[in-house]
Amino acid sequence: MLPLPLVPFPADVDVADAPAFDLSRAGLRGDPDAATVLRSLVAARTGTDLPDGDTITLAVQGGGPMESYTLEVETTGIRITGADAAGLFYGVQTLGQFIRRDGERWVVPAVRIADAPRFAYRGVMLDVARHFHAVDTVTAYIDRAASLKLNVLHLHLSDDQGWRLELRSRPELTEKASATAVDGDPAGFYTQDDYREIVAYAASRHMTVVPEFDMPGHTHAVSLAYPEIAEAPVTDVITEGAIPVAGEPYTGTAVGFSSLRVHDDATYAFVSNVFAELAELTPGPWLHFGGDESHGTTPEDFAHFVARASAVIADLGKTPIAWHEAGAAAGLAPGTIGQYWGFVTPTDAAPEHARAFAERGGRVVLSPADAIYLDMKPTDDAPLGLTWANGPTSLERAYSWEPTEVVDGLPEDAILGIEAPLWTETVASLADIDALAFPRIAAAAEIAWSAPAGSERTWRSFRARVGGLGPLWTSLGIRFPALAEVTWTT
């Protein structure tokens, strides 16, 4: 068993038979951004500040795959080189994982690592619509995700319970539809400056923000601001949860009952306004328009809406993303990315819908709900989380799946990447996020980054390596649950 708590596991690791590097001899020089990150990590882990010097060097060297890096630790010094700034950042995160105490000293074991990611898109999603999360919570989650080499933050910015982003073209969205959340909890919205701050902070951690306005369903909040473009709630599709009332804020958790009026020109004026402004605010290539659980919309109307909404986004020069149900629409804009949220063993028409994106020139992001939906309970007795995705999702189940085996007929080159969503029906704080995301976010990160085969790419190895990250996570203020599946290092 490799003694280093490395997650995700690198492409190539060679542990040297040599004395460790003593951090008391450390002096740092090189790339200033990476140096700031490393100093912060070392201070959190050891309580000491790294002085300037030349025993640890950080550099962007070029060459090699995007986001790749090499890390060389010898008795006399440490060198990290990245193919680009992101690769150097990830090399620094790797180094932070295996700093360890040896008696009274802090040391780094002698090792050589060469590493690069498997998938280009390695994401997490945070639902800020069911429960609103302030900017500092979002940036804290960015830090947590980036430390595991995840590089996309998908923000679910609208749902039946609330609209969370200020738009100057449609001010009534935040004036009338942002004040409530699930169970009537406190809510709010991001100003445009708030959103820019989140985007910039994510970029500083080499993460791309993918914003989502969900439609034509999940739009009860829109109806509070612009009732003329919304249908009345279709309550006979609700199997559990509070019943919505037209014109009143919704604080329950039922889904599928709301819809925009898909044949009204005013609806597409709205769609054009909100995505045009979102595109101006968002430097990344993707805009997500939802498209899931539109049970109050006929299949024909749904297909009509998906075709028009995806075309609006494509015409803005952005790549549309939609949940996999949108693959049923023949008029879907070519190149649209599909996000599969069905089970590891698919049901119904989900595989057909997912494949349709690739058949039309797009690719697929995999988010199988019974593996990496982080809002699922990790154990039967967990105080937070849901169980609808085949019951509680253990850490082992979160780890033990292979992306190429989920959707038959979807080859690896048609898979853009992996995303672990965190819906927030039961999640109201950063502590709640930690309690559900960790340690299962680490499983999603390894599946997204690491090669699918190898002696250490096993559940037995992973659980040991994750256990070794406990002291680092604690020093970083992450309040993770010490699941019984893992033997945790103290």
Catalytic residues: 293
Residue 214 sits at the vertex; the CA angle it makes with 269 and 322, to the nearest 5 degrees, is: 100
Q: Is 9 exposed, middle or buried (0-12, 13-18, 19+ CB in 10 A)?
A: buried
Look up residue 417 and give its two tokens: 């990447």
DSSP state of 170: S
d(CA 254, CA 274) in angstroms, rounded, equals 25
| Residue 275 phi, psi dihedral angles, 5° rounding | -80, -30
C-beta separation of 261 from 230 below 8 A: yes
Amino acid identity for residue 18 in this structure: A
Look up residue 126 and give its two tokens: 């945070």
Look up residue 379 and give its two tokens: 């154990």
Residue 489 sits at the vertex; the CA angle it makes with 486 and 490, to the nearest 5 degrees, is: 130
Q: Are strands 286-290 and 158-159 parallel, antiparallel or unpaired?
A: unpaired
d(CA 181, CA 66) in angstroms, rounded, equals 40
d(CA 366, CA 34) in angstroms, rounded, equals 30
> In the beta sheet, which residues pair with residue 345?
none
C-beta separation of 447 from 403 below 8 A: yes
d(CA 305, CA 285) in angstroms, rounded, equals 22
Residue 450 sits at the vertex; the CA angle it makes with 445 and 451, to the nearest 5 degrees, is: 150
**DSSP structure string for 290-334:** E----TTS-HHHHHHHHHHHHHHHHHTT-EEEEEGGGGG-TTPPT
- Please compute, for residue 207, the number of CA atoms within 13 A of its CA located in the half-sphere on the CB side: 33
d(CA 128, CA 125) in angstroms, rounded, equals 9
Look up residue 372 and give its two tokens: 């990496």
Q: Which alpha helices (H) appear in 226-380, and where do they start and end? A: 265-281, 299-315, 350-359, 369-372
Coil vs helix vs strand at 59: strand
DSSP state of 20: P
